[in-house]
């Protein structure tokens, strides 16, 4: 995982939550974490990560706040802790 991916991953867990996370960059981060990302139609994505699965709807230019919260939960359930596993 490169430095740009790490910055995006840490942005997902930042407080306050940023509202300008790039969806394409986030897809690359999820793949770098070992996840499988599939297009589910109409802007939807199905993500499988370490045996956990979630369906998300990202905007064209940013990721809605509610989806960031759900994505945080999926990453945590998958056993990934960004501060420990991928420090900046």
> Residues 40-73: pLDDT tens digits?
777 788 999 999 999 998 877 888 888 999 999 9
Task: Please tell me the predicted confidence (pLDDT) of residue 62.
Answer: 84
pTM of the predicted protein model? 0.86
86: enclosing H helix or E strand? none
Pinpoint the alpha helices (H) of the chain.
Answer: 3-12, 23-32, 65-77, 82-85
What percent of the chain stands above pLDDT 70?
A: 100
Cα–Cα distance for residue pair 50/41, rounded to 1 Å: 23
60: enclosing H helix or E strand? none
Task: Please tell me the predicted confidence (pLDDT) of residue 18.
Answer: 85
How far, CA to CA in Å, does 25 sit from each of 12, 43, 51?
Answer: 12, 15, 22
């Amino acid at each position: 995982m490169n430095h740009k991916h790490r910055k995006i991953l840490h942005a997902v867990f930042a407080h306050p939550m940023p509202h300008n996370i790039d969806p394409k960059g986030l897809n690359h981060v999820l793949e770098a974490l070992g996840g499988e990302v599939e297009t589910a139609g109409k802007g939807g994505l199905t993500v499988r990560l370490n045996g956990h699965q979630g369906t998300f709807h990202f905007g064209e230019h940013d990721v809605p706040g509610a989806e960031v919260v759900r994505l945080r939960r999926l990453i945590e359930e998958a056993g990934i802790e960004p501060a420990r596993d991928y420090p900046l």
